[in-house]
Amino acid sequence: MPSSSYYEIRDAHTDEIILPFNSTGSKISCDSDGNYFNLWMDSFQPERFYRVVIKVETNNGNTVQMFDNNYYFKVIR
């Protein structure tokens, strides 16, 4: 993924944005194993499903692609 890649977390049921795209706080990192992001789960509601949306910017931000591939996860107690 390009270095200008970000994630957003949405409530899977309501589609409410929980963590919006942000140039510093939701930037996707990369190391020798691949791309990743750290997500602190303590502020999420337990027993709810959330969805991850990916945004990739290329050409100095002139081209933006959104990937909403139904990546879901559930927070459990």
- For the stretch 21-67, pLDDT in tens is 988 889 999 999 999 999 988 889 999 999 999 999 998 878 999 99
pLDDT of residue 44: 93
3-state secondary structure 10-73: EECCCCCEEECCCCCCCECEEECCEEECCCCCCCCCCCEEEEEEEEEEECCCCEEEEEEEEEEE
pLDDT score of 1 more than 90: no
Query: Are residues 1 and 58 in contact, defined by beta-carbon separation less than 8 angstroms?
Result: no
